[in-house]
Amino acid sequence: MPNSTEGRILDAAERIFLSRGFHRVSMDELARELAMSKKTLYAHFASKDDLVAGIMRRRVRRVDAEFQAVLAMEAGFDEKVRGLMLGMQRRLGEVSPAFIDDLRRYTPEIFRIVEEYRAQAIPKYLGGLLEEGIREGFIREDVKPAMVVRMLVACVQGILRVDHMMTLDMPPVQALDTILRVIFQGVFTAKAREVLS
């Protein structure tokens, strides 16, 4: 658990970096925003890359906790799928294309780890949920959950890239919503379409 100074640094850096990207934000600017010295910043984070890695580790822990809580709810498939989709859209909406582009360009190792996390998280959270949806009559019985999961991973990693987003001229949240609607409309039963519309 980070101490309060480290937590303050992470909070401020996350707010600034997610909205504007991190490449053009200097550690001087961040220190001014926090009303602390650069020496204090560097005592907690050796570099800006280290700070970005800390932000991403914390975001992954938070996303995992949120999604585990949704799946643990005493609720049916419809409420759980709503909870996961809203959570994904909310988390993606917090991140600017500039931040994603900076990750890809300036910290490719961190970007690769984020992509690997997404490739593991989608099956982890949706695989069992899709099977539950089949049992509850929300997902067509002829649908293979593993195939749907692979399609989602491919779409998310292929379309939700900054270079693709710029050519689509739509915010990432709208692109994610489109991906989810297209894929899920294809696997939902009539019952699911009625309940989840």
Mapped onto helix, strand or coil, the DSSP state of residue 188 is strand
175: containing domain: 55-196
Please report whether residue 4 resides in a domain.
Answer: no
pLDDT digits (tens, 9 = 90+) for 109-123: 999 998 899 889 989
Say if residue 15's pLDDT is above 90.
yes
pLDDT of residue 167: 77
Q: Categorize the per-residue pLDDT at 46 as very low, low, confident or very high, splitting at 50, 70 and 90.
A: very high
pLDDT digits (tens, 9 = 90+) for 179-191: 888 888 889 999 9
Say if residue 16's pLDDT is above 70.
yes
Report yes or no: 21 and 101 within 8 Å, Cβ to Cβ.
yes
pLDDT of residue 144: 94
Say if residue 97's pLDDT is above 90.
no
| Average pLDDT over every residue of 1-27 | 92
State the Cα–Cα distance between residues 54 and 134, nearest whole angstrom. 38
Report yes or no: 110 and 103 within 8 Å, Cβ to Cβ.
yes
State the Cα–Cα distance between residues 151 and 146, nearest whole angstrom. 9
Please report whether residue 44 resides in a domain.
Answer: no
Name the residue among 109, 95, 66, 70 with its Cα closest to residue 172. Answer: 95
Please report whether residue 9 resides in a domain.
Answer: no
Please report whether residue 105 resides in a domain.
Answer: yes
Please report whether residue 48 resides in a domain.
Answer: no
Structure pTM? Answer: 0.83
Say if residue 166's pLDDT is above 90.
no
Which two tokens mark 131? 């099977």
Instruction: Give Dmax (Cα) for the chain.
Output: 60
State the Cα–Cα distance between residues 4 and 123, nearest whole angstrom. 34
Please report whether residue 31 resides in a domain.
Answer: no
- What type of residue sits at position 67? F
Say if residue 162's pLDDT is above 70.
no
Please report whether residue 64 resides in a domain.
Answer: yes
Which two tokens mark 57? 């580790």
Please report whether residue 25 resides in a domain.
Answer: no
Give the total number of structural domains in the chain: 1
| CATH number of the domain enclosing 90 | 1.10.357
State the Cα–Cα distance between residues 80 and 133, nearest whole angstrom. 10
- The CA distances from residue 138 to 68, 181, 189, in Å, are 21, 14, 5
Q: Categorize the per-residue pLDDT at 170 as very low, low, confident or very high, splitting at 50, 70 and 90.
A: confident
In terms of pLDDT, which residue wins out, 2 or 49? 49
Judged by phi (left if over 0) then psi (alpha if -120 to 50, else beta), residue 47 lies in beta
